[in-house]
């Protein structure tokens, strides 16, 4: 294994505690953190207004900025961090990245205050399912606290 902890994140203030938990875990294990932003413009499907510009590139750039902020937080904590922006559906992208990068552990955050696009239940089920399928450890965190751990 490559001793990398994957932290999928959308950035923003609400994500900081979960990012910090991933950074702390990496420090504890002497691992590197890979922050992942997934650009998904599915929300545009229901709009009647025309999409005339390349919004995915704009979203990718926004994702890069969010990850640069997370990377700074990790580097301040003396943890090596890298970033990755991918396009697509969360589940599929996550599985692809796990296979490509030979990830050890995934720190998956539940959004604070129920503001996320998916429910906590969905996150837990996803973590359990992908952990069984790929053999990767999943740590589900909420506001920086570890809620569940799924080990194969």
- Which residues would be at the binding site for other proteins (CB under 8 A)? 9-15, 39-40, 43-55, 58-59, 61-66, 68-69, 72, 111, 115-117
Our CB check for other proteins shows the closer of 55 and 146 to be 55
- Residues 10/37, Cβ–Cβ less than 8 Å: yes
Residue 92 CB contacts under 8 Å (≥ 6 apart), including other chains:
none
Determine how β-strand 145-150 pairs with β-strand 137-142: antiparallel
Our CB check for other proteins shows the closer of 39 and 131 to be 39
Our CB check for other proteins shows the closer of 15 and 105 to be 15
Q: How far is the CB of 24 from other proteins (least distance, A)?
A: 20
Q: How far is the CB of 84 from other proteins (least distance, A)?
A: 15
- Residues 29/5, Cβ–Cβ less than 8 Å: yes
Distance CA 112, CA 29 (A): 26
Q: How far is the CB of 4 from other proteins (least distance, A)?
A: 22
Q: Helix, strand or coil for residue 81?
A: strand
Q: Helix, strand or coil for residue 67?
A: helix
Q: How far is the CB of 151 from other proteins (least distance, A)?
A: 27
Our CB check for other proteins shows the closer of 44 and 146 to be 44
Can you say how many angstroms the Cα of residue 12 is from the centroid of all Cα atoms in its chain? 12
């Amino acid at each position: 294994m490559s001793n990398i902890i994957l932290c999928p994140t959308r950035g923003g203030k609400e994500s900081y505690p979960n990012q910090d938990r991933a950074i702390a875990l990496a420090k504890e294990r002497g691992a590197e953190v890979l922050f992942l932003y997934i650009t998904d413009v599915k929300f545009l499907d229901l709009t009647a207004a025309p999409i005339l510009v390349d919004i995915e590139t704009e979203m990718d750039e926004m994702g890069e900025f969010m990850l640069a902020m997370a990377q700074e937080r990790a580097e301040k904590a003396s943890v090596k961090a890298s970033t990755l922006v991918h396009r697509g559906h969360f589940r599929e992208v996550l599985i692809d990245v796990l296979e490509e990068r030979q990830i050890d552990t995934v720190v998956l955050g539940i959004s604070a205050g129920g503001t996320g696009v998916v429910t906590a239940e969905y996150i837990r089920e996803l973590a359990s399912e992908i952990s069984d399928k790929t053999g990767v450890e999943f740590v589900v965190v909420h506001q920086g606290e570890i809620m569940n751990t799924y080990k194969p």
